[in-house]
A = this chain, B = another copy of it.
Amino acid sequence: MIKSSKILVVDDEPQLLRVLRRSLSAHRFDVRSASDGESALEVFNDWDPDLVITDLSMPVMDGLSLCRELRRVSKLPIIVLSVKGEETTKVEALDAGADDYVTKPFGIEELLARVRAALRRAPEDEDAKEILKAGDFVVDRAAYRISVRGQEVHLTPKEYELLTFLIQNRGRVLTHRTLLAAVWGGDFVLQPEYLRVFIGNLRKKIELDPSKPRYITTEPWVGYRFDASP
């Protein structure tokens, strides 16, 4: 199964937003939207999209600032939309980190082609991605580091594998069996006691209040679930 790319659309015009959502969804993209730069950053942190399409003029935080902010932390493709066709504006946006600039009005087919071109250049699938983000968590698989709320935490290899696996499958319940197989390998004497101990240790390291887990919640008789956003 091919996972569809996640696209975040940022614009303050509800009508354009609606058109884009529909067109992109029709082409099997996973779409979310935001109406200004600040909420866009929130969605970005929670959802970790593969591409961002943003308007330039917006309330709260304009497209240029959004580009710069995103570029500080990510290399994901950014496509800027704008009614402004002046050259200086284009240059400014491209130098702020945008990958492409499309002047409104534009043909939806052209935009889709530019989206395909941008995604083609960064063909990373979730499993191979080096940096995994989910809410307060950032997992750098290359550096083998995990930080929570900006603070790096030291995890043992098993804890690291367990948490990474949970984050990869965030939002869904994973059975004890699945988790044990993922961390200890399928052919093993699977004992759910391990899991309890490790989940406990993990919670002590990442939860604000380990007695009231917020990230790793337990689903009795089934397994555990990781939630990035409360």
| Chain A residues numbered 200-216 whose CB sits less than 8 Å from any CB in chain B | none
Task: Establish whether residues B91 and A109, one from each chain, have CB atoms under 8 Å apart when the complex forms.
Answer: yes
Complex CA distance for A91 and B110, rounded to whole angstroms: 5
Q: A60: CB under 8 A from chain B?
A: no
Q: How far is the CB of A106 from chain B (nearest CB, A)?
A: 8
Set of chain B residues within 8 Å of A116, measured between Cβ atoms: 94-95
Q: Is the interface of A mostly helix, strand, loop or mixed?
A: mixed
Binds B, one of A20-28, A33-41, A47-55, A217-225: A217-225
Task: Establish whether residues A113 and B100, one from each chain, have CB atoms under 8 Å apart when the complex forms.
Answer: no
- Chain A interface size, as a band, is 20 to 34
Task: Establish whether residues B121 and A95, one from each chain, have CB atoms under 8 Å apart when the complex forms.
Answer: no
Q: How far is the CB of A176 from chain B (nearest CB, A)?
A: 13
Task: Establish whether residues A109 and B121, one from each chain, have CB atoms under 8 Å apart when the complex forms.
Answer: no
Complex CA distance for A87 and B114, rounded to whole angstroms: 11
> Smallest CB-CB separation from A103: which chain B residue?
B103
Q: A98: CB under 8 A from chain B?
A: yes
Choose one: B109, B156, B219; the contact of A87 (CB below 8 Å): B109
| Chain A residues numbered 72-102 whose CB sits less than 8 Å from any CB in chain B | 75, 87-88, 90-91, 94-95, 98-101
Task: Establish whether residues A117 and B143, one from each chain, have CB atoms under 8 Å apart when the complex forms.
Answer: no
Set of chain B residues within 8 Å of A121, measured between Cβ atoms: 75, 99, 121
Task: Establish whether residues B142 and A172, one from each chain, have CB atoms under 8 Å apart when the complex forms.
Answer: yes
Choose one: B95, B110, B221; the contact of A90 (CB below 8 Å): B110
Task: Establish whether residues A144 and B90, one from each chain, have CB atoms under 8 Å apart when the complex forms.
Answer: no
Q: A173: CB under 8 A from chain B?
A: yes
Residue-by-residue, is A140-172 near B (CB-CB < 8 Å gives 1, otherwise 0)?
A: 001110000000000011000000000000011
> Smallest CB-CB separation from A160: which chain B residue?
B222
Complex CA distance for A114 and B80, rounded to whole angstroms: 13
